[in-house]
A and B are shown apart, each in its own frame.
Chain A
Amino acid sequence: MVPTLLLAALLATPAAAATPATSSPTGSDSAAVSVAAPPVLGLLRPAPQRAAVYRPRHLLLQTGGGVGMLSVGGGLSFAHRHLDFDGLLGYVPARHAGTALTIASLKLKYAPWELPLGGSGLALTPLAVGVYGSYTFGVRNVGEDGQYPDDYYWWSRTMRVGPVLGSSLSYALPDAASGRARRLTAYYELATNDLYAISYYQNRRALSLRDIATLALGLKLEF
């Protein structure tokens, strides 16, 4: 019941993922750099800033969600860690799909709230919404040149896109030597994909949201 409600909320508000809260880089950092650096070096200022923004902030380990029996990856964080951009590489052994599959996926996930739970070092992220896209390598029958007339099948057999929705619980670890906060987070995500979604949309009597939902369980190490 709860997953159904969550998925219903997700499908009702797919636009939420695309409108993260605006935020600005911390003003104190740039001020410090401009004061400390001579004017000529000031021209180079954006470079180190960009490098910092595009440095991976977390590692991921996940099962399910339609992107692998086991997936590993990492990601970038923006907007004070409210917005994550993740890349995952997943594997499905042949005994579960007929051929061994390798699945590359990208995911953009926005979590507006984080609630500290007392002084326990635990923090709850009650809701995260996002979108993902995946590409599957190793599919048995994707069609060879000339096998099918044009547009014989209108959908991609290898690329999937879909919404995700989830929650997570984080635990603060001792800070890194650099002084950055480190955390271990356990998360789940409910998701679906384009083909399941269209099946549901056209058959809302016979299919339920539960029928089209997938579940991912994962760990995220922030550093």
Chain B
Amino acid sequence: MFSSFSSAFLRTALIGALATGLSACELVEYSPNDHRAPADQKDLTAKNLARLAAAPLPPGDTLRFVFSGDSQRFYDDAQDLVKSVNQQPGIQFMLVSGDISDFGLGREMRWVDNELRQLKVPYLTVIGNHDHVANGRDAYQEIFGPLNYSFVFGDTKFVLIDTNSREYNFNGRVPDVPWLQGQLADLGGARRSVVISHVPPQDGDFDPTLRDAYAGTLRETPSLVFEMNGHRHDYGVTQPFNDGVTYVNSYAFEKRRYILVTVWGDKQFRLKQINF
């Protein structure tokens, strides 16, 4: 009797101590720039792409996704956004056009994920200038994944590219235009393309020496539906280079609005603003 009580007590105490120890370990932060994360908050881009691949869109079906950006220091707003997006029928995923964090800290990126992982659909991100601050670039790569990547979903190839030139002090290599050209030259079986980046090419934070090459690449891509950006925190549908290429800018989370994007046919699309 005593021994069974004692072993049960011991087991409970051990489990308790282990749980306390594990949660304490997470709190032992070496620096705010320390980017260690629990396994389920690492490589989130790959994990979300795997979720997306598990529910493929049949060829010819209408593409529908939510477009937002600049989650930054707006965690309460993120909660409400998730509630609203979860009520949208027929959406396939959500795109966040950069500035996931405000201060470039790993913990901020995980706070945003704590909210966005409550979405019923996967979400994908591109790096923003705030995510480059301090050691944020390293944190983004650890927690989300590559700075430039692409994926094919249904009939569309999505190309996500780092355009935060100022964070590299305009070194002439960001954005990586040759990489972009390679991605758009081979659509991997898709019929249309969408390019997503944080800083729009007409912005002062975009490398002026690469502006023409970048905009020119998009102009010469007949499959391109539009280019999508964040950074400006406000919605906009413009053709800044008057070359027929449409640039769509997202609301920041703090604006408590997002865009519902529907794409069908060759390059037909509809953009609907949703308040939350």
Contacts and interface: CB of A to CB of B under 8 A. Distances in A.
A51 B222 CA distance: 78
Interface stretch (A20-28, A81-89, A106-114, A203-211): A203-211
The size bracket of the interface on A is 35 or more
Nearest to A158: B134
B136 A136 contact: no
Given A141-B137, A203-B73, A205-B76, A68 B103 contact: no
Given A206-B75, A213-B27, A215-B29, A98 B139 contact: yes
A37 B218 CA distance: 88
B166 A147 contact: yes
Given A96-B35, A203-B73, A205-B76, A69 B137 contact: no
A190 B137 CA distance: 27
Contacts of B108: 199
A64 B31 CA distance: 7
Contacts of A103: 31
A203 B254 CA distance: 12
A102 B111 CA distance: 26
Nearest to A155: B103
A206 B78 contact: yes
Contacts of A217: 28
Nearest to B112: A206
Interface of A: 3, 63-69, 90, 92, 96-99, 101, 103, 136, 139-142, 144, 147-148, 153, 155, 157-158, 160, 190, 193, 195-196, 198-199, 202-207, 211, 213-217
A188 B139 CA distance: 27
In this complex, the member of B34, B74, B142, B167 whose beta carbon has the largest number of chain A beta carbons within 10 angstroms is: B34
Contacts of B103: 155, 195
A195 B24 CA distance: 21
Contact of A140 (B24, B102, B111, B137): B137
B234 interface: no
Nearest to A143: B169
B164 to A, nearest CB: 10
Contacts of B33: 92, 97-98, 101, 136, 139
Contacts of A99: 135, 138
Given A193-B32, A214-B29, 7 more contacts: A92-B30, A101-B135, A139-B33, A144-B169, A195-B102, A203-B74, A206-B111
B84 to A, nearest CB: 15
A96 B34 contact: yes
Contact of B28 (A140, A199, A205, A215): A215
A141 B75 contact: no
B167 A141 contact: yes
A97 B28 contact: no
Given A141-B134, A155-B103, A98 B35 contact: yes
A141 B111 contact: no
Given A141-B136, A193-B32, A64 B111 contact: no
Contact of A148 (B76, B107, B166): B166
A136 to B, nearest CB: 6
Contact of A153 (B31, B107, B133): B133
Contacts of A67: 31
25 contacts: A63-B28, A64-B29, A65-B28, A66-B31, A66-B34, A92-B30, A92-B34, A98-B33, A98-B138, A136-B33, A140-B138, A141-B132, A141-B133, A141-B135, A141-B167, A142-B134, A157-B133, A158-B134, A199-B108, A203-B74, A203-B75, A203-B76, A204-B76, A214-B29, A215-B24
